Structure formats: structure tokens, C-alpha cells
């Protein structure tokens, strides 16, 4: 260690304040490092304003350290401070700078970023709202994800509509149906529901003609029992248009018979567990059948109320009410979108009654022709001879019945079949061959 001589002959260390200076330099270096990290972090998280506030706070902290050192030691010639008064002034100014910098750095951070950082440390900032903000509480309502809002609104709207349902209405019946997703279509075929248009009610007429007889007006038939419709007029419920029907290979498809609950839809909502007899009865049940515009029926396909509704809006209440009636009668379920769609329609007509099943009309019995007696010609008796005995009444011949008739059925109708096999099969069998 070097020593230097004082004027009075004594010696003292040349660098008394060297240790204190080194300590202060170390503190200032550490403060500078913390300042650099703070400024960079503030800029990344809060932007330029936050970074400026952090810098001002670091400058204030540095000045505070220098001022306190000067007050304690009495001078800090390196910083140009010659006495404790200068150190005190610097300390006060540094405290002001430190407070202002802290306020500027903390007050500019976005509310949603602060809230997110407080609830999920270290996670990537998201738009998920925080329950308790880390800083000043935000009074703006937290945003709600769009999908959640849509689902909640749909469900609450459907429930509100169903809550208004009166007993005996289609809306009340809808509320009793199970709600599930569609089952797979695996194994479905039209044949699973029996042969198309069988005579399940045993009235002697296939189901398609039964529906045409019920739904068409101004009908004409190809037979005397009024079964097979040859022509008629349809007030189409799906389009609201009038459609002329003419039976024929290229014209019959203009009017088709629709299963209001499509067979494929029924298969995927419970029918695949039925036995064959139940599926056949379902496919021919008058409750779920309507004569409609052919192209619109093909457009519908196997859609439910969530994917297809009749263009004629005036018929939609009746349409979905009939779907509910069919599903309720056979224990089929509805999908969530289907239930919501039906509820929306019935919400416009909450008093819509639940349709009930009615049987097809019986066929008209063909009248039995009354034989016309042949005129009897009486020959004049000879004047001189005795009266001849009265002749026997002539026997009835084939001329007494309409031409072409081959048999009289047991229900009184005539058969014009050219073959004996199957004659009068729908009329109780043959009573008399002609």
C-alpha cells in the first residue's frame, strides 16, 4: 500500500474511499442490468410507453442510490456532488422520477393481457377472460365465445317454447320424445319395410291407391269398386299448387306418396330394432302418408325437419305436427337439431293439434246388374183346337248378365277375369261361374 505525507508530518492512505467507490459501482452495475431486463420486458409486454416508464424508474433508482451515498459519506466527487445538501436534493428528485416511472410502466398494460397473465402464468396470452384481474378491476363485461352463446341461446329458446305447450298439442307431444343422435344407416334398405304398397288393412286395395283415393278430388277409376285411380286433381300441400294426376307409365310420378317420416330416418332413429311386421305396418300407416308433388318429394329425400321443410310455409305446422305424431306413435326419437327445428315451427302455432290416425275408406261395392227378362211371344191358338198347355218359362242365359262377366263373387260383385285362377280373390271368392 502506498502512503503519502501530510503537512503535519503524519501519513494516511492515498485512496481511503476506494472500497466505498467499488461497492457503489457494483450496485450501479447491478441496477443497470436490472434496468436493461426491465426495459426489454416492458417493451415486449406493454409497448413503448411501458418501456419508457421502466427506463424512467431505473434512472430514478440510480439517482436515489447516488443521493443516499452522498448524504452518508458527505460528498461524491465522481458525480460532481460536493456535500450532503446536494445529495439530499438528488434523493428527492430521484424518488419523484421513480414514482412517475412506476406509474407510467404499470398503467399502460392492456387489461385483458394483465388479467390473462394473472390467471395463467407463463401461458400464451389468450382472449379467455380472467375472474380476478391482477391490477385495476375491469368493468367492461368479459367476452363470451361465439359457439357457447349460440348453443345456449338455441337451447333456452327451445325450452321456452316447450314450456308454453298445452296438453293435446303437437308441441306437448314433442316434449315427450327422446332426444339422441342419429344411429348409423348400416343395413338399411327399402325392402326392410316390406314390399312397396301392400294391402295391410285388407280392404282389397293397395296402400298407394288408398292414399290417392283419400287425397285426390274429381277422381275416376279403372274398376267398378273405385280402387285404382285413373285420374284426379291434387291440391299439393308441399307447394300449394294444383296438380292434375293421370295414371300412366310416364305420368304417374307427377303425384307421389310421401312418408312424412322418411323410412331411412325411421331406420336411424329406432326402427332398425323392430321386427318385420312392425316395419311393414309403419310403411303403410295412413298417419304418415301424404300424396304430394313428385319432384318435391324427391328433393326431400330422407331429410328431417332440420334439413328440409315444405316450401309452402302455410303447411309447415301441419307437416311437423304429423312428424311428431308418427314418432310418438312408434317410439322413434328426434335428434337435437331436429327437435329445435320442429320447436321453432310449432312456436309460431303453439295450438297446433296432434294429428290422429284414421283408417282408409272402404271400397265401393259394385252394383249387381238386374237381369232383364226376355220378352215372351205368345203364338195365337188355332181356332178349332183346344188350348195348348202353358210352356215352361225360358231359362236365363248369358244374355241376362253384362257381356264379359265370368263370375259372381260372394260379396255380390262381378268378376271380368279371363282366367279362373285368382278370380274374386279380394271379394270372398266365387259364388257362381257364368
Task: State if pTM tops 0.85.
Answer: no
Distance CA 414, CA 432 (A): 10
> Which residue numbers in the chain have pLDDT < 70?
1-54, 71, 73-82, 87, 98, 101-155, 364-401, 408, 410-413, 427-428
Task: Report phi then psi at 230, rounded to 5.
Answer: -95, -25
- Residue partners of 386: CB distance under 8 A and separation at least 6: none
- What pLDDT score was predicted for residue 404? 73
pLDDT tens readout for residues 116-136: 333 344 444 444 444 444 444
Q: What digits encode the pLDDT tens for the residues 346-391?
A: 999 999 999 998 888 777 655 555 566 666 666 665 655 555 555 4
**Cα 288 from chain centroid?**
22
Q: What is the C-alpha end-to-end distance of the chain, expressed in Å?
A: 153
How many Å apart are CA 202 and CA 214, to the nearest integer?
16
Query: Is 279:271 a contact under the CB 8 Å cutoff?
Result: yes
- Contacts (Cβ under 8 Å, ≥6 apart) of 288: 259, 260, 261, 282, 322, 326
CA 359 – CA 61 distance, rounded (Å): 96
Single out the residue of 303, 50, 334 nearest to residue 176, CA to CA: 334
pLDDT at 132: 45
Instruction: List CB contacts of 112: < 8 A, sequence separation 6 or more.
Output: 125, 127, 129, 130, 138
Assigned C-alpha cell, 291: 300424396
Amino acid at each position: 500500500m502506498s502512503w503519502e505525507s501530510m503537512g503535519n508530518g503524519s501519513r494516511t492512505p492515498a485512496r481511503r474511499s476506494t472500497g466505498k467507490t467499488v461497492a457503489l459501482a457494483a450496485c450501479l452495475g447491478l441496477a443497470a442490468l436490472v434496468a436493461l431486463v426491465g426495459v426489454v420486458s416492458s417493451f415486449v409486454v406493454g409497448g413503448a410507453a411501458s418501456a419508457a416508464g421502466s427506463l424512467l424508474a431505473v434512472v430514478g433508482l440510480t439517482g436515489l442510490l447516488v443521493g443516499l451515498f452522498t448524504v452518508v459519506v458527505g460528498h461524491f466527487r465522481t458525480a460532481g456532488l460536493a456535500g450532503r445538501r446536494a445529495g439530499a436534493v438528488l434523493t428527492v428528485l430521484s424518488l419523484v422520477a421513480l414514482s412517475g416511472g412506476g406509474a407510467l410502466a404499470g398503467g399502460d398494460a392492456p387489461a385483458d393481457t394483465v388479467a390473462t397473465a394473472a390467471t395463467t402464468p407463463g401461458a400464451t396470452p389468450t382472449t379467455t377472460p380472467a375472474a380476478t384481474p391482477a391490477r385495476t378491476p375491469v368493468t367492461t363485461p368479459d367476452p363470451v365465445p361465439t359457439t357457447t352463446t349460440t348453443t345456449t341461446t338455441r337451447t333456452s329458446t327451445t325450452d321456452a317454447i316447450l314450456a308454453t305447450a298445452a296438453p293435446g298439442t303437437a308441441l306437448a307431444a314433442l316434449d315427450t320424445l327422446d332426444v339422441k343422435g342419429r344411429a348409423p344407416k348400416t343395413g338399411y334398405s327399402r325392402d326392410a319395410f316390406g314390399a312397396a304398397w301392400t294391402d295391410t288393412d285388407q280392404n282389397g286395395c293397395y296402400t298407394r291407391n288408398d292414399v290417392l283415393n283419400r287425397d285426390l278430388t274429381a277422381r275416376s277409376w279403372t274398376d267398378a269398386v273405385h280402387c285404382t285411380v285413373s285420374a284426379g286433381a291434387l291440391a299439393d300441400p308441399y307447394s300449394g299448387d294444383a296438380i292434375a294426376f293421370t295414371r300412366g307409365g310416364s305420368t304417374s310420378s307427377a303425384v307421389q306418396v310421401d312418408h312424412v317420416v322418411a323410412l331411412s330416418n325411421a331406420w336411424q332413429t329406432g326402427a332398425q330394432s323392430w321386427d318385420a311386421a312392425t316395419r311393414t305396418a309403419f310403411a303403410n300407416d295412413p298417419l304418415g302418408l301424404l300424396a304430394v308433388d313428385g319432384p318435391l318429394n324427391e328433393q326431400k329425400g330422407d331429410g328431417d325437419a332440420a334439413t328440409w321443410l315444405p316450401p309452402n310455409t302455410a303447411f309447415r305446422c301441419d307437416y311437423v305436427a304429423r312428424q311428431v305424431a308418427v314418432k310418438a306413435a312408434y317410439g322413434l326419437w328426434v335428434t337435437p337439431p331436429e327437435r329445435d327445428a320442429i320447436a321453432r315451427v310449432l312456436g309460431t302455432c303453439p295450438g297446433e293439434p296432434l294429428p290422429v290416425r284414421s283408417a282408409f275408406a272402404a271400397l265401393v261395392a259394385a252394383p249387381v246388374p238386374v237381369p232383364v227378362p226376355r220378352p215372351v211371344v205368345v203364338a195365337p191358338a188355332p181356332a178349332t183346337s183346344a188350348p195348348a198347355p202353358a210352356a215352361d218359362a225360358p231359362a236365363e242365359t248369358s244374355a241376362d248378365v253384362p257381356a264379359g262377366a265370368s263370375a259372381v263373387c260372394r260379396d255380390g260383385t262381378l268378376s271380368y277375369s279371363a282366367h279362373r285362377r285368382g278370380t274374386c280373390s279380394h271379394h270372398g271368392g266365387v259364388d257362381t261361374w257364368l
